[in-house]
Amino acid sequence: MSIAEKTILAVIPARGGSKGIPGKNIAPVAGRPLLGWTLDAARTSQFVDRTLVSTDDPAIAEVARQLGGDVPFLRPADISGDSASPMLAIDHALAWLKEHEQWQPDYVLLLQPTSPLRLAEDIDAACRLALEKDADAIVSVCEATPHPYLTRTVAPDGRIDDFLKLPGGYPRRQDFPPVFTLNGALYLAKRHILEEKATFYTDRTFAHVMPVERSLDIDTPWELHLADLLLRELSGK
């Protein structure tokens, strides 16, 4: 069976009330709302059957609809606060679709709008990998920069010390072992795994490795500014 024969639901969680960047999910980036870049990537994917925007904010819902997004409900406030995990948004979306449309996808793809440089080709590669490995889940990562061996602690009196002790045999940076960090760009899992285990991490979770230049995860005004600069250059604006 090919991945095209599996049904894939993409969920874009876009709650309101961001404190670090007010209105972050619909902030203008390279001439369009931030949310639009993720919607485009999902729509361009060869394998995503439906892309649903889950938000508690009517203003975000309106912008998403103007961009062609599917917003069939407003997420309840009690699962939309600062401490609410994306898993709650997924659980709510799956329950709503089952109750109101009697539809359950084979896979769920979580796409956070704060990763606007992620491409449809990343989504498609993750989908192919899921089938190839019969994976419970696929999570995107990129090479860790700086390398963890270069991290340090600073004592209250200002003295510096290693955070991780450098093992023997790795005296040069080019000899460090490759390590990767979660980049937040995509999380893909079989629906039943999410329903049974409520996590993307099992012993059958595999990595989709993305280049650092597509791994920006916006959390600060500077990162929003950087995304604007990069996407303007990439889109020729």
Domain ranges of the chain: 3-139+183-235, 145-178
SS3 45: coil
Element (H, E) at 53: strand 50-54
- Cα dihedral across residues 85, 146, 136, 6: positive or negative: positive
CATH architecture assigned to 3-139+183-235: Alpha-Beta Complex (3.90)
Q: What is the phi-psi region of residue 23: left when phi exceeds 0, alpha when psi lies from -120 to 50, beta otherwise? A: left
Q: How far apart are CA 181 and CA 142, in angstroms?
A: 6
Closest Cα to residue 93, out of 52, 149, 48? 52
pLDDT in tens, 2-23: 677 899 999 999 988 777 788 9
Long-range contacts: 68-73, Cβ < 8 Å, 24+? 68/39, 68/43, 69/12, 69/35, 69/39, 72/96, 72/100
The pTM for the full model equals 0.92
Closest Cα to residue 9, out of 86, 93, 89, 69? 93
Q: Give me the half-sphere count of Cα atoms (radius 13 Å) on the Cβ side of residue 177.
A: 5
Element (H, E) at 152: strand 152-154
Q: What is the pLDDT of residue 57?
A: 93
* The two three-digit tokens of residue 17, written as one number: 């009330």
Q: What is the mean pLDDT of the chain?
A: 93
Asked whether 190 and 94 are in contact (CB, 8 A), the reply is: no
Return per-residue pLDDT of the chain as tens, 237 residues.
Answer: 667 789 999 999 998 877 778 899 999 999 999 999 999 999 999 999 999 999 999 999 999 999 999 999 999 987 777 767 889 999 999 999 999 999 999 999 999 999 999 999 999 999 999 999 999 999 999 999 888 988 899 999 999 998 888 777 666 777 788 999 999 999 999 999 999 999 999 999 999 999 999 999 999 999 999 999 999 998 876
185 burial via Cβ count (<10 Å: 0-12, 13-18, 19+)? buried
Q: What is the pLDDT of residue 204?
A: 98
